[in-house]
Structure 1
Amino acid sequence: MLMKRLSLALVPAVLVCAAAPALAANLKDIFRAARLHDMGYRQAGASYREARTLGPEARSAFLPHISAQANTTYNDLTSSILGGEAGFIFPSGHFTFNANGYGISVTETLLDIRALYAWRAVGATIHAAHQRYALAQSNLVLTVSAQYFAFLLARDDLRLRRAEERALRAEYQSALRSFHLGRAPITDANEARARYEAVRAATLAARNAVRLARARIERMTGRPADHLWPLNLHHPLLRPHAGTLVTDEARALRDNLVLRSARFEARAAAQSAHAAFAAHYPTISAQAGYSYNRADNGEFGFGTVLRDKTIGLYLTLPIYQGGELSAKSAHASAAAFQAHVAALRVERRVQFDVRQAFFNVRNDYREIAALAAAKKAARVALASERLGMRVGVRNNVDVLRAEQAYYRSRRDFARATYDYLLSRLELKAAVSHLTAGDIAELNALLQPPGAPYAPSHGHRPPRRMLRP
């Protein structure tokens, strides 16, 4: 009974929590949540931290190795002298005694070419892991921006579809009234209904697209995505940078993270191949040691105390190990060549990606200007068709076509705006890399949900276009 009362008492609190709206989030909030939740980014960070631990291990080959040892033993010894002469001075018998000792040794490598190349290979591996970690953040910036803008575009498309649906429903009802009054044929009403039903179906598809886009963001961030800040289309868009294609390609060959990572991996493979071949070379080391051993008794009836001090040079030269060293050297050389070819392949791909992104940015920026003009022209054409219908020179079908053309121009303009912003990010990612600063730059183009939202109006067509 008590549990039932507690359950009933908790029901209002649960309903209040469930009814509480989710907090509004902008692009920076989504990026912070994705950086904490994204497993790919966290795995890249873990791989980089793991790679950094290889440095001290490789460097230890050049540092002194100091070891100490100690021992103590209890001995129970029975000694019998057989065949000895009568005057043999060492007695036979049963002895129990303790023996103990300690020692310390220091070894310093003076020459080890294989370890030197291995240390260089580890350094290149660490640099490659660091580039991959930075690349993971750059990819996360691009992914978060793409998913965020995909949701905004789907939401804009849904709102425009609903507005178009309302407009076409009104046109259909007007055509139906005109038919009943005998001022228009039935074909106008049938076409208006067909267009209205098609827009209704498109609205349902747009609603499903919004749900899918929201689900992708929630999967990426692990948090609700109900009240995302919209894009402020009144804000002037950022112009493309004034660089040239040749400059961007040269920068990409120097700063692109994918290419830098591939080159470091090729360098690590080359150093590993040198290390495998250097296993044939001799190694020289110096060693010094001190040891103390004491035994209270022994098999000859007396104890001993031994102190030993040593210092010397040691040279080791492998002569033949069954072909193992040659086989490892050949395998490492083949792996180094494969890594070199992979780096060349990445270099060609980066050049193509930069060229493609460069042209996309220029084309999208000009497309925005053209679509802004087309949207304005479609709005004027719609007003003209409606006026012509009132004076009797246009019919309902003409108005329907102008209505759909107007909403289509608004959707195309919104899509081109989001495409342009993503193209800018793709170009910078192809040339170098993306950071949290790029998220902040895009976040400045957003507006809080409470501000007036105009998904179809606002952006003024650019007056001056940059030459490619």
Structure 2
Amino acid sequence: MARKTLTNWMTGVCLAAGLAMPAAAETLADALAGAYNTSGLLEQNRAVLRAADEEVAQAVAALRPVVAWTGDISRSYGTTRSLATGFEWTGSATDTASIGLSATLTLFDGGANRLSVDAAKETVLATRSGLVSVEQDVLLRGVSAFMEVRRAIETLTLRQNNVRVIGEELRAAEDRFEVGEVTRTDVASAEARSAAARSLLAAAEGALAQAREEYLASVGHLPGNLVSPSSLPRIPATADQAKAIALRDHPDIIQVQHQVAASEIAIAVTQASMSPTVSLQGTYGYDESFDSEAGTRGGTIGLNFGGPIYQGGNLSSLKRQSIATRDQNRAALLQLTKSIPQSVANAYANLRVAQAARAASDEQVRAATVAFRGTREEATLGARTTLDVLDAEQELLDARNTQISAVVDETIAAYSVLYTMGQLTTEDLALNVPRYDPAEYYNLVKSAPVQSRQGEDLNRILKAMGKK
């Protein structure tokens, strides 16, 4: 009887697994590649980076001459009287047209424009690190979604088998009650366990549906036949080693470092804005009257000087604001140098707990399996009641459920260590994906091109991005 039930249990596991998962195999690396390739959050932040790249182009453009044109067509009219006309009112009208060009080049502004270029470059570098941080968020969500589907599928398999086994126990109890071997209490206990098992099965089905939707949202498609990872990612042997790596390479720290540098430059920009400016200006134009053959053409060239004297305290306020922003970024950097090592230590602690829980669950499953088989054999000899068998079966089920969760928790904890170190990226994981090059767009716009070969390349890239 025990061997037959065990065989039925194994058959149920295989059938449930086949029903729960489609045929197409999918690894964790496949899921992470899907998350990277389909993430709308990454696309959003890539656009943020391209906007930051354009700030460099705008700052560079401020160093160049500004050329503009103007045009005017006007009609002047009125009436006049004079001695020559006998003081009679006479009308007159004049039609004129003019067109001109002007060019202005800033020769000296205290270095504000060049400093603005440096500040924009630091902002670009900070935004690039922010994009790496978003990439880590996307991939960690992909890991969690993959493993949670695995947890839900295996839990559902156990619940389906539990309903099947308890149903067999219920039928056996009813048969034995008919022949007087057990009491009505044994039958009622089996009925109660059967109802509880069906309730847990419904909960497991709901959990799987939710896990599949989360997988769809984070990876971009519904899960196939998910293959559990054969090994955990490589991580440093100690938390101290991981902390050193995090302090050096974590994208959040690098981002704030560049923000500090940009805010330092911003202080210098506000200081330079208090300096006088010198600019070279030239104009050339042509004026013509439609009512006569008169016309003039010519131009001017000269140096313009100017500078602020009093603006109601606005410039001083801007400088104080820049200093406060610099202090804010410095404080944020200091906080990160404390919180990130703490996160690394916590992630290592969670991993050790998960590893210990997995080892304990393996031993628990082994012992519960032996106990269940023994209880079933003893029940066939009349030494155990149906309630004893149900209790042993429930303990085995709980042990297997704990084991499933321990495996999932261990995998998520291992990848969380990489996340806190700043190394949960497509490059560090060696994922087979077309990686986004943050420098490609920047290299095309950093010199502020107008329509040219660079402009054509830029249009090609933007068009390709629009097709993604």
- Shift, 1:145, TM fit: 2.0
Match of 1:310 in 2: 301
Match of residue 182 from structure 2:
184
Is the CA contact 1:61–1:109 (under 8 Å) kept in the aligned structure 2? no
Q: Relative to structure 1, is the Cα distance of residues 437 and 303 closer, same or farther in structure 2, using a 3 angstrom cutoff?
A: closer
How far off is 1:323 after superposition?
A: 1.3
**Aligned match of 2:391 in 397, 401, 412?**
401
For the pair 1:61 / 2:62, whether they are aligned, the reply is: yes
Which of 254, 259, 264 is 2:258 aligned to?
264
Task: Mark the CA change 1:249 to 1:439 in structure 2 (over 3 Å): closer, same or farther.
Answer: closer
Tell me which residue corresponds to 2:40: 39
Counterpart check, 1:383 vs 2:384: no
Distance in 2 of aligned mates of 1:401 and 1:141: 41
2:284 corresponding residue in structure 1: 291
Distance in 2, matches of 1:438 and 1:337, equals: 33
**Is residue 253 from structure 1 mapped to residue 252 from structure 2 by the alignment?**
no
Q: Is the 8 A contact 2:125 2:255 kept in 1?
A: yes
Task: Report 1:107-146 matches (<5 A).
Answer: 107-146=105-144
Q: Distance in 2 between matches of 1:239 and 1:106?
A: 59
Conservation of the 8 A alpha-carbon contact between 2:75 and 2:95: yes
Give the structure with the higher percent helix: 2
1:274-289 correspondence runs (5 A): 274-285=268-279, 287=280, 289=282
Report the counterpart of residue 447 of structure 1 in structure 2.
Answer: none
SS in 1 for 2:225: coil
Q: Is the 8 A contact 2:151 2:408 kept in 1?
A: yes
TM superposition shift of 1:106: 4.8
Does structure 2 retain, via aligned residues, the 8 Å contact 1:77–1:96?
no
How far residue 402 of structure 1 moved from its aligned partner, in angstroms, is 1.9
1:117: Cα distance to partner? Answer: 3.3
Instruction: Identify the range of structure 1 (237-246 vs 201-210) with the bigger mean alpha-carbon deviation.
Output: 237-246
Distance, in Å, in 2 between the alignment partners of 1:166 and 1:66 is 83
- Which amino acid in the other structure matches residue 124 of structure 1? E
Structure 1 pair 439/213, CA: closer, same or farther in 2 (3 Å)?
Answer: farther
Cα displacement (A) at 1:137: 2.0
CA distance in 2 between partners of 1:43 and 1:128 (Å): 16
* Partner SS state of residue 62, structure 1: coil
- Pick closer, same or farther for the CA change 1:396–1:437 going to 2, 3 Å: farther
Aligned position for 1:412 = 402
Q: Supply the distance in 2 between the matched residues of 1:304 and 1:205 (Cα, whole angstroms).
A: 91
- 1:166 equivalent to 2:164? Answer yes
Name 1:456's counterpart in structure 2: none
Matched, 1:354 2:344: yes
Cα deviation for residue 116 of structure 1 reads 3.3
Contact 2:73–2:95, Cα closer than 8 Å, also in 1 = no
TM-superposition CA deviations, 1:18-52 (whole Å, max 9, x none)? xxx98847355655555565432322122112121
Report the number of matched residues.
407
SS at structure 2 position matched to 1:340: helix
Cα distance in 2 between the residues matched to 1:364 and 1:115: 55
- Residues 389-468 of structure 1 mapped to structure 2, 5 A cutoff: 389-436=379-426
Q: How far apart, in 1, do the equivalents of 2:374 and 2:116 lie?
A: 78
Q: Kindly tell me: are residues 80 and 248 of structure 1, through their superposed partners in 2, closer, same or farther at Cα, counting changes over 3 Å?
A: farther
1: CA distance, partners of 2:158 / 2:107: 75
CA contact (8 A) 2:132 2:251 kept: yes
Quickly say closer, same or farther: Cα 1:158–1:432, change in 2 above 3 A.
same
Q: Structure 1 pair 99/191, CA: closer, same or farther in 2 (3 Å)?
A: closer
Question: Which sections of structure 2, spanning at least 5 residues, go unmatched?
Answer: 1-20, 85-90, 434-468
1:183 aligns to what SS in structure 2? coil
Question: Structure 1 residue 279: deviation in Å?
Answer: 1.9
What is the rounded CA distance, in whole Å, between the counterparts of 2:34 and 2:95 in structure 1?
71
Q: What's 2:362 paired with? A: 372
C-alpha distance in 2 between matches for 1:333 and 1:354: 32
What's the CA shift for 1:203? 0.9
- Determine helix, strand or coil for the equivalent of 2:235: coil
Whether 1:345 and 2:335 are equivalent positions in the alignment is yes
What's the offset of the Cα at 1:63? Answer: 2.7
Q: Which amino acid aligns with 1:382?
A: F
TM-score normalised per structure 1: 0.74
> In the TM superposition, what whole-angstrom CA distance separates every residue of 1:161-181 from its partner, at most 9, and x where no partner exists?
111121122223223333333
Distance change in 2, residues 1:317/1:179 (3 Å):
same
2:452 alignment counterpart: none
Q: Which runs of 5+ in 1 are unaligned?
A: 1-20, 84-92, 444-468
Distance 2:208 2:287 in 1: 85
Query: SS at the partner of 1:400?
Result: helix
Letter in 1 for 2:355: Y
SS in 1 for 2:182: coil
Describe the SS at the equivalent of 1:184.
Answer: coil
**Structure 1 SS opposite 2:105:** strand
C-alpha separation between the residues in 1 aligned to 2:283 and 2:391?
100
1:154 Cα offset (Å):
1.0
Alpha-carbon offset, residue 339 of structure 1: 2.9
Separation in 2, partners of 1:349, 1:82: 93
Deviation track 1:343-397 (CA, whole Å, cap 9, x = no partner) reads 3333332222111111222332333222222222222222222223234443333
| Mapped partners of 1:384, 1:219: distance in 2 | 46
